[in-house]
Chains A and B, each alone.
Chain A
Amino acid sequence: MGKVIVVTSGKGGVGKTTSTAALGAALAQNGERVVVVDFDVGLRNLDLVMGAERRVVYDLVNVIQGEAKLTQALIRDKRLENLFLLPASQTRDKDNLTTEGVDRVITELKRVFDWVICDSPAGIERGATLAMRHADMAVVVTNPEVSSVRDSDRIIGLLDSKTLKAERGERMEKHLMLTRYDATRAERGDMLKVDDVLEILSIPLVGIIPESSDVLRASNMGAPVTLADARCAPAMAYFDAARRLRGEQLPITIPGDKRSIFGKIFGRKAA
């Protein structure tokens, strides 16, 4: 049986879709069978970030409504044969996502794939709660910024109350993914530090993704950042995060914190 991960955050624009694509690709690059599922009905974007926007024929809502088979809706990645995408509907209303329909689709996907990664919409409404409902573990994507941290705290509360795991009285495994981190600004005292966010949210860290132009470049090209340039800093951080999700114990490094003393002195003056 595959594992279900929800990538969630509460706040929009913090990197859920980017992280879903990057983690999905990273796991697939390690030989795992992966499907990434877009739950953002009406505002789908995972297809675009994955570079599959022109190949969408059927979507999650079609499958739930019985208008298409799951195998018809799944899109196989052009670069990785063991990576698939289940797109959301762009035109239909999110009310078309029924609890029973989502139950059926996820159960079926779990039978075929090692990892089912659900990209949650922003907010705390139906789409978000359905995306987290079946999760075995959650990746909470957070920016080192007050509104994002607050919303993540709210989402952590929902993960502990509104999921099947919580209803069964089990503990939801939650992982913090800190994105758009700028070690220089944090060092200067103008951005929350890793430890600040960890102390406030009290969930273990799965990765720190540095603020980087490589992320935008990858989405411009329609490739998960781990596929666009596997050697760039954010890609390496996502590879490490994927390994941690598989249960490996790896020390966490703060990316971008490698400046020389020379750089530190002049970096400060330039500020």
Chain B
Amino acid sequence: MSIFGLFRKQKSAPMARERLQVLLAHERASAGSDLVSILREEILAVIAKHVELDADRVHVKMDRDENMSILEIDVEIPLKSTLQAA
């Protein structure tokens, strides 16, 4: 390769890094999917015992960090059901 090749060629490592970050963010969200989907179903069942809710309005997300995993549960409860429960 000539000296000029250095100027022409883009560094490839930053591309690798970026592609991996995007891909793994996606894969981590969908992988662990066994656990997340089991949790989702069970959480849904427990809450549904007490309040009426829309299954599509329950979001369960798992994030991983160096020291811990964060389980995020987001349940939207319609106003009507809240009144019934109270």
Q: Which residues of A contact B (CB under 8 A)?
A: 145-146, 149-150, 153-154, 157, 160-161, 186, 188-193, 196, 200, 202-204, 268-269, 271
Contacts and interface: CB of A to CB of B under 8 A. Distances in A.
Given A190-B11, A268-B6, A269-B3, A154 B31 contact: yes
B18 to A, nearest CB: 10
Interface of B: 1, 3, 6, 11-14, 16-17, 19-21, 23-24, 27-28, 31-32, 34-35, 64-66, 69
A189 B31 contact: no
A271 B64 contact: no
Main secondary structure, interface of B, reads helix
B14 A189 contact: yes
Contact of B20 (A149, A154, A203): A149
Given A190-B12, A196-B13, 11 more contacts: A146-B16, A146-B20, A153-B28, A154-B31, A160-B64, A186-B13, A189-B13, A192-B13, A196-B17, A200-B24, A202-B66
A7 B77 CA distance: 46
A154 B64 CA distance: 12
Contacts of B19: 146
Contacts of B24: 150, 153, 200
Nearest to A196: B17
A36 B27 CA distance: 33
A268 B6 CA distance: 9
A203 B21 CA distance: 15
Contact of A154 (B12, B27, B66): B27
Given A150-B23, A157-B31, A157-B32, A189 B66 contact: no
Contact of A161 (B6, B14, B35, B66): B35
Residue from the set B35, B65, B66 with the largest chain A CB neighbour count within 10 Å:
B66
A145 B13 CA distance: 9
Nearest to A202: B66
B17 A192 contact: yes
Contacts of A269: 3
Contacts of B14: 189
B66 to A, nearest CB: 4
A133 B39 CA distance: 23
A63 B31 CA distance: 35
A200 B66 contact: no
17 contacts: A146-B20, A149-B20, A154-B27, A154-B31, A157-B31, A160-B69, A161-B34, A186-B13, A189-B13, A189-B14, A190-B12, A193-B13, A200-B20, A202-B65, A202-B66, A203-B66, A271-B6
B6 A192 contact: no
A225 B17 CA distance: 30
Contacts of A161: 32, 34-35
A189 B65 contact: no
Contact of A200 (B1, B21, B32, B35): B21
A157 to B, nearest CB: 6
